[in-house]
Structure 1
Amino acid sequence: MSSAIPTSTSVVESAVIKAPLASVWHLIKLQDFSKFNSNITKSEFVQGANEETDIVEWTFKDNTKQSVKLEEHSSINHSITYSIITSQPELTYSSVLSTIRCFAVTSGDSEGSTYVEWTGNFSSDADAGVIQDAKFKRREALADLAKAVARK
């Protein structure tokens, strides 16, 4: 019998950022994550990657390096989906597919703002600690995104 605690393998975090959609969406590119995410010190395209595949390497404050593959990008739907294909040190789970979606807030008290939703769907071998870590890292990054847009 397994001693692992059953947990959801997905996470959804969201925020309303007090800036127009165009300002927020402009920063949502894999190669630009270091411009707003304070945990990422460098983000750059991987040289020699297949020309039909966009792969970006993220370097984190703790020197973790992850190769991230762009799975889908839609300027029409203002969404981006990506997966981690390699990590040093290695991940403790098999895979994760993340999506960021941005929506213009068109009425109410937050009119003119942007609603941002950041999801992560992890493989079934991700434990509760991984999911909690992803939750808090997304919250931090969304707060960083709001600060980055406010600086512009």
Structure 2
Amino acid sequence: MSIPTSTSVTESAVIEAPLSSVWHLIKLQDFSKFWSKLDKSEYVKGASDETDIVKWAFKDGTVLEVKQEEHSSIDHFITYSVISSQPALSYTSVVSTVRLYSVTSGKHEGQTFVTWTGNFSSDADAGVIEDAKFKRREALADLAAAAGKK
């Protein structure tokens, strides 16, 4: 019997860099520039003109094709879904959003608050959710390191 679990995850961080330094890294095809778990991230050739599909090749051999669902340079967020995976995922779907906010007051003024959410299909188990939590935490730490180098 499986244990009931939430099918969403949200991780967040304050990055010690201005929003403009962080935002330019938030393009699906550029995630390998900051995320140490990724070997490569590149556009999928032959995808339709209306759809941005990017292949993420992870250092562990996993290859995901992710589709950009929404992108706003006004509200500073990107939403993407996984459309294929090798090896196959143990769940049906996931939609994720990376959202940036400029911190405008307080001791973190001039820095960037980032959230990275994932909303999984109901067949995702607790292990999937835990893994997603830790992967997002690691990626946010990598993002902070990359943004701080500017």
Residues 29-68 of structure 1 aligned to structure 2 (within 5 Å):
29-68=27-66
> Would you say how many aligned residue pairs link Structure 1 and Structure 2?
150
Partner of 1:93: 91
Once the two structures are TM-superposed, the CA of residue 123 in structure 1 deviates from its matched residue by: 0.1
SS at match of 2:127: helix
| Alpha-carbon distance in 2 for matches of 1:114, 1:62 | 30
Shift of 1:41: 0.7
Q: Which residue of 2 aligns with 1:150?
A: 148
| Map 1:2-81 → 2, pairs under 5 A | 3-81=1-79
Instruction: Trace 1:104-119 onto structure 2 (pairs within 5 A).
Output: 104-119=102-117
Residue in 2 aligned with 1:141? 139
Please name the residue that 1:125 is paired with: 123
Q: Counterparts of 2:147 and 2:23 in 1: how far apart (Å)?
A: 10
- Identity over the aligned pairs, expressed in percent? 72
After TM superposition, what 4+ stretches of structure 1 lie above 3 angstroms from structure 2? none
Q: TM-score with structure 1 length normalisation?
A: 0.98
- In structure 2, the gaps of 5 or more residues are none
Aligned equivalent of 1:103, options 101, 104, 108? 101
Residue 82 (structure 2) pairs with residue 84 (structure 1): yes
Deviation at 1:44, TM superposition (A): 0.2
Deviation by residue 1:34-82 (Cα, 9 ceiling, x = unmatched): 0000001100000000111000000001111100000000001000000
Matched residue of 1:146: which SS?
helix
Q: Secondary structure at the match of 1:145?
A: helix
Partner AA of 2:68 in structure 1: L
User: What is the Cα-based RMSD across aligned positions, in Å?
Assistant: 0.4
Q: Which runs of 5+ in 1 are unaligned?
A: none
